[in-house]
Structure formats: C-alpha cells, structure tokens
C-alpha cells in the first residue's frame, strides 16, 4: 500500500489534535487525511504539515475511499458511525469505550498483545488510558511470572476529561487565588488545589465506571479472565499525564533486581529511579513523552510475593492517540488493513 487514506473522527478534540501531531511526527505513509467532526466544529481549519486542512461534517459519504479511521469522539458517536465506516471499506481504531468489551473486537496495546489484531473484523478498540499505562508497565513482569492480583490507585489529571477540563482547572486556580468561587462547568467539584474520587457512575459494589474499566480491560488484554484486580481512581490537580501506584502480587517471590532489569529493557517503558535523590516518575516529566515512566520498584514488606511500583504517563499521548497510531502501524506492517 503506497499511501494510506486516513480519517480522524473527532479531529478538533484534545485527542484528535494529538493524533494530527503524531501523524506529522511518525512514519505512517499518508496519501490523504480527512478531518471529520460534528456540525458544531465543521468549517474549522487545522494546521498539518505546513498547511491547513478543513474540518468537514461527518456523514455517511465522508468515509468513502478511506483505508483507516481513527475515532475519538465518544461512545455514542462511534456506535453510530463506525459500522458505516467499516461498511465503506475502512478499518476503524476506536478510542471510546463503545466496543472495548465486545468479544468480537480486539482490545489492543501494541507492546502487549499485537497478535490480537489478526482477528479484527473492521473495528479495533483502544483501551482506557489508565489501563494502557498499567499494562505497558506490568506486561514485562506478567509474561515472566503471571500476576495473581493487582491493587491500583490512580492519580488522574484534568486532561482525562478533555481540553475544556484542562482550561477549567486553570480558571479554577486563578479564581481561588483571587478569592473568587471557582467555576465547575466540566467537573462536579473544584479540581484546582483539590482532589476527589473519579466522578464516573458508581455500581452497586461502590466501584466507579473508570475503576471497572481497569478491571475488565486488563483481563481481556492479558487473556487472563480470572486475574484479580481492584482499583481506586482519583482526579488530582495535575494538568496533563496520569500517575498510578501499583501493588502486584505473584504466586512466588519476584526479585526486585530482576523486575528492574526487565522493565529497564521493556518497549514503551522508561525506567526512572534515583533513590539517592528520591527522584522517580512525575507527571510533569511524563507530559509529551511517548514512554511510560516507571520506577520506585520495591518489595512489598507486607507480602513475600508482592512488589510495589509507581508510574507516570501522558494520558493524551500514550494513553490515547499514540496507542491508536501504533495500532495503525502494526496493521500496516502486518498487511491487516484490507
């Protein structure tokens, strides 16, 4: 295939604009790039590779002739339009939750389970951002000694709720410093100088939707339906990049030095540890980076078969847009685009 004809559905959002930047940076060959969005965003012009491209309204005809659709416009939009894109001959990589737990749809992190792409039927799901970051860090350990249990605590930035949420947190900070009431149009509570449990809907067990995504998606990606996972997801006053504290239990002890060696060599991971300076991964340094920063690996003093680690990763980049681009690169390399 000489050049790909690619459409971005949701081109004007935070992930859509990151997809544009990554398509400029990486080597995916492009013959055509089509920017699709809602009627509200249609007519905008977005910069790409030294020129400007128009944003057009999504319609049934908008997918004609495309090889690949990168979708990041929300679950209801994906459910409405991706079957139409596939019927028109495109392969769709979806960043929403619409198809993640569909048994017929591969849920893929390229550093973990790229082989699952061979079974796609036109739609491929991008996992949730917190799941992507966690699985990139844990897969190198899991493949050596299968993990029995994961207890995760996440520290999720404003970027997870989109560009408007990032702007709102800035406005909140200014308002609070000026002794004014902070605006809460996107978040239910002020996030600046504050934190709160993730505000997605709660189930009858008291787990929120975001936490259950980590449970269910990790099991599917690892092909480990009985893997025990528990998560507590928290919004924190960080602009961009999520962090996670992970407690991992194995059947037998996992030497810390072996874990450090494995993670230091793992694709998609950058090992960040300086115990003398108490220097470990930070969201400020993970922002804009492709790799997941991993460090502070230590023996769990409460369990002989447990390890603790800490990570930070860019939610918009590796947690969303980059993972989708990497999926596209594997599809092209393996000749799986039709």
The binding site consists of: 12-15, 40-41, 100, 156, 159-160, 235, 315
Marked catalytic residue, from 120, 142, 198, 242: 242
Instruction: Please give the annotated binding residues for substrate, written as ranges.
Output: 156, 235
Partnered with residue 8 across adjacent β-strands are: 35, 70
- 129 belongs to the catalytic site: yes
How far apart (Å, rounded) are the C-alpha atoms in residues 309 and 296? Answer: 5
Q: Specify whether 208 is catalytic.
A: no
According to DSSP, the β-strands at 51-57 and 91-94 are: unpaired
As a whole number of angstroms, the distance between CA 192 and CA 12 comes to: 25
- Contact assessment for residue 269 and residue 133, using Cβ atoms and an 8 Å cutoff: no
First to last CA, the chain: 10
Which uninterrupted H or E stretch holds 4?
strand 4-9
Q: If DSSP codes are grouped into helix, strand and coil, which group holds residue 312?
A: strand
Three-state SS at 44:
coil
**According to the 3-state scheme, what is the secondary structure of 57-94?**
ECCHHHHCCCCEEEECCCHHHHHHHHHHHHHCCCEEEE
- Paired with 265 in beta bridges are none
Geometric angle at alpha carbon 55, from 50 and 58, rounded to 5°: 145
Measure the CA–CA gap between 163 and 33, rounded to whole angstroms: 23
Determine the Cα–Cα distance for residues 191 and 45; give it in Å rounded to an integer: 32
Q: Which of 8, 5, 30 is nearest to 20 (CA)?
A: 8
- Residues 119, 120, 129, 208: which is the catalytic one? 129
Interatomic CA distance for residues 273 and 298, integer angstroms: 11
Q: Which residues are catalytic?
A: 129, 242
């Amino acid at each position: 295939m000489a050049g790909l004809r690619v459409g971005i559905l949701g081109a004007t959002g935070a992930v859509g604009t990151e997809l544009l930047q990554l398509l400029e940076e990486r080597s995916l060959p492009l013959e055509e790039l089509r920017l699709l969005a809602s009627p509200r965003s249609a007519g905008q012009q977005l910069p790409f590779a030294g020129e400007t491209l128009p944003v057009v309204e999504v319609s049934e005809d908008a997918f004609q002739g495309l090889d690949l659709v990168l979708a990041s416009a929300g679950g209801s939009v994906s459910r409405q339009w991706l079957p139409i894109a596939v019927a028109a001959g495109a392969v769709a990589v979806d960043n929403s939750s619409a198809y993640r737990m569909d048994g017929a749809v591969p849920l893929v992190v390229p550093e973990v389970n790229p082989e699952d792409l061979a079974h796609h039927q036109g739609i491929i799901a991008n996992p949730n951002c917190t799941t992507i970051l966690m699985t990139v860090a844990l897969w190198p350990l899991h493949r050596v000694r299968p993990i029995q249990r994961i207890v995760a605590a996440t520290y999720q930035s404003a970027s997870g709720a989109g560009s408007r949420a990032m702007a709102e947190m800035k406005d909140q900070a200014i308002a609070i410093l000026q002794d004014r009431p902070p605006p809460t149009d996107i978040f239910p509570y002020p996030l600046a100088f504050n934190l709160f449990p993730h505000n997605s809907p709660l189930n009858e067990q008291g787990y929120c939707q975001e936490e259950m995504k980590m449970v269910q998606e990790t099991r599917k990606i690892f092909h480990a339906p009985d893997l025990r996972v528990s998560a507590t997801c928290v919004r924190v006053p960080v602009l961009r990049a999520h962090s996670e504290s992970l407690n991992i239990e194995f059947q037998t002890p996992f030497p810390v030095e072996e874990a450090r060696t494995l993670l230091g060599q793992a694709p998609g991971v950058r090992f960040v540890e300086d115990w003398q300076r108490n220097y470990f991964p930070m969201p400020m340094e993970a922002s804009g980076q492709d790799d997941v920063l991993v460090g502070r690996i230590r023996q769990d003093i409460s369990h002989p078969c447990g390890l603790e680690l800490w990570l930070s990763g860019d939610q918009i980049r590796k947690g969303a847009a980059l993972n989708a681009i990497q999926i596209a690169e594997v599809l092209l390399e393996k000749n799986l685009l039709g």
